[in-house]
Structure 1
Amino acid sequence: MSRVRQPIAVTAAALAAVLSLTPAAQAVQVTRTAVTAPAAPAAASAASESRVRISTAHELPGDRVYPEGIAADPRTGDLYAGSFTDGTVFRMTPGRRTAQVFLPAGADGRDTANGLKVDRAGRLWVTDSTTGVSVYDTRSRRLLARFEVPGQEPRFVNDLALTPDGSAYLTDSVRAVVYRVTPAQLSRAAGRTATLTPGFDLTGVLDPREPGAFSLNGIVAGPSGRHLLTVDMVGGDLYRLDPASGAIARVALHGGDMLHADGLELQGGRLWVVHNTDNAVSRWRVTADGTAARMERRVSDEALQLPTTLVRVRGTLHVVRSQFDKGGPLGEGTPRRPFTIASVRGL
């Protein structure tokens, strides 16, 4: 399938419009880490504040990286990050501060690298907002398969999640659908390009909005794979998806909302959420069936530099500092160099 150029111009503009909607008054930002918890005593908040630490874990070489996605290899502990501006994928190894280029800019025709995940077989999944998702062997760096969005309409393939059965689920922020790639489809697509097929369509479920506006963003899978959680960054709602029945339901949120939510991370019944233009990370307790969630803590800090997603490894959150508002797709100015991945401990 030929690559579609027009949709990325439309969706990049939509991204800028949506993320720039945040009034400054809505972002609770301080010069150092602050923790807010509804109805928490001041002494408890001060104690929590002292336990949250933000520092730099890794540096990404390049002047215009503007990273967007991150993934951890469950077998090796390596981390992978992708550049939104040119599709470069970096690999970060334990004990080394500076990342190495794993896949160069424009590899295999990709213009961007958004959502990233590494599966149990050592395959790296990389979404490209303009086309779909590419799958690589992390040992040989060989392209194993590619799946592309059908049609000519605008699209923005954003984040993805992997379930224990080997299926991949990908959000489209403009079409408000979640695509699915099954292990059988991956096997059939070996060495060639296949078409992405929708697994869920949330068009009639989300709150009404202008055509082409952003909606779905981060997505995670429950530990059993019986349900998925995906967030509507504009409406601030979380949705539960049932792969077996196809059912879609709004998750009951208590203690806050998920406005401006981007990447998600789910481990041990807790859900971590980055709120991009708020420079914030929140932590939620999720029920076992995924039908309700309660916010436990929220950290807001300008040191997060417009975070887009995160991954949790051995108790540490590795957060992508996109700097999209510093000369990137959302603003003017000069970004801090080098671009970095932050480590957040104590949240």
Structure 2
Amino acid sequence: MSRSHRYTAAAAAALALTVLPASVPFAPSAGAAVAAPARSQTRISTAFSLPGDRVYPEGIAADARTGDLYAASFADGTVFKRTPGRSAAEVFLPAGADGRRTANGLKVDRAGRLWVCDSSSGIAVYDTRTRRLLARFTVPGDGARFVNDVAIAPDGSAYITDSSRAVVYRVTPRDLAAAAGGTAVLTPRFDLAAVLDPHAPTAFTLNGIVADPAGRYLLVADMTGADLYRLDTASGAIRKVALDGGDMLNADGLELQNGRLWVVHNTDDTISRWRIGRDGTTARKERQVTDASLQLPTTLARLHGTLYVVRSQFDKGGPLGSGTPEIPFTIAAVRGL
């Protein structure tokens, strides 16, 4: 592609796989009670814009302490910051900073550290006050990898999905301290390859991930198999969550608050909301909204009752399609869902 910002062939192909199941329609299991559409109760507007004409954003994170929101560009690795009340974000970490070629999953932890996934290499940790790089963790070996999303558990441990390897890495506070100012290798904590539904060798599997506020378990979506998995943080046990009323097909980013799980289904332009059982082994679909104005959403963050949803536009001149994106790129505000 002859453009000001070029995707590498590997990155473009990898991203295409993350949303490849677009041709498969949303299909609840037979006999399932499908939640009524929530369109009439949901309000979708633009929260803020992102500078640049080739942004193609992928990740978002909220800092609950300050109200700041961070968004990431898959195209070149830029990380943006939007402070409360502003209609436009500003560059927080420039493109290519610290060798970062892409930026997708983001999370701000309780200590004010920003975790930034680079799909092609690993994850980096920054001080949100000084913008200083604190540590970097890389994927071991030379095989395929796609570091996709990150969740922070109450004990401060970070859990990171790899969509190519079907594993979840863990970085503990001790690991972070040991790597301070340098680079360390990511260590898998959960390997789901043996439990996932059969899929093509190149298909993407694990995507969005969230942590139970009590620290007992993680929930991670298999976007190709359309399943949700519960990962026990203490025992390492893995089990499939019983879904009632729908599935996790094309599930990308997740958000978990107060026993409710919000799920972005990327190529479906859909957000679904689920009620999670007390032990995390069941999920019942309550509502969903499908709207073209979501512009192929990839993830979301919930702050003060509002869902901030990434409008990726990957299908408009990006690695998944042709045409011209709507400028400026924006983050949507979704209320009432």
List per-residue Cα deviations over 1:70-105 (Å, max 9, x = no partner).
000121010000000100000001110010000000
AA aligned opposite 1:38: V
Distance apart, 1:24 and its partner CA? 7.7
Distance 1:17 1:184 in 2: 34
Distance 1:18 1:165 in 2: 30
AA aligned opposite 2:23: P
AA aligned opposite 1:237: D
Describe how 1:306-321 pairs up with structure 2 within 5 A.
Answer: 306-321=296-311
Name the counterpart of 1:67: 57
Distance 1:98 1:73 in 2: 17
Name the counterpart of 1:230: 220
40, 56, 68: which one pairs with 1:78?
A: 68
Distance apart, 1:23 and its partner CA? 2.4
Q: Which runs of 5+ in 1 are unaligned?
A: 1-7, 28-36
AA aligned opposite 1:225: G
| Cα-Cα RMSD | 1.5
Identity of aligned residues (%): 72
31, 34, 54: which one pairs with 1:38?
A: 34
Judging changes above 3 Å, is the alpha-carbon distance between structure 1 residues 39 and 240 closer, same or farther for their aligned structure 2 residues? closer
Describe how 1:150-299 pairs up with structure 2 within 5 A.
Answer: 150-299=140-289
Total equivalences in the alignment: 325
Distance apart, 1:213 and its partner CA? 1.6
Distance 1:303 1:39 in 2: 21
Judging changes above 3 Å, is the alpha-carbon distance between structure 1 residues 212 and 10 closer, same or farther for their aligned structure 2 residues? farther
Matched, 1:54 2:44: yes
- Match of 1:139, SS state, is coil
- Match of 2:293, SS state, is helix
Is contact 1:131-1:148 (8 Å) kept?
yes
Describe how 1:74-153 pairs up with structure 2 within 5 A.
Answer: 74-153=64-143
Distance apart, 1:51 and its partner CA? 2.4
Name the counterpart of 2:5: none
Distance apart, 1:236 and its partner CA? 0.6
Distance 2:11 2:49 in 1: 28
302, 324, 335: which one pairs with 2:325?
A: 335
AA aligned opposite 1:104: P
Is contact 2:47-2:332 (8 Å) kept?
yes
Is contact 1:284-1:297 (8 Å) kept?
yes
Is contact 2:35-2:287 (8 Å) kept?
no
Name the counterpart of 1:5: none
Distance 2:251 2:203 in 1: 15
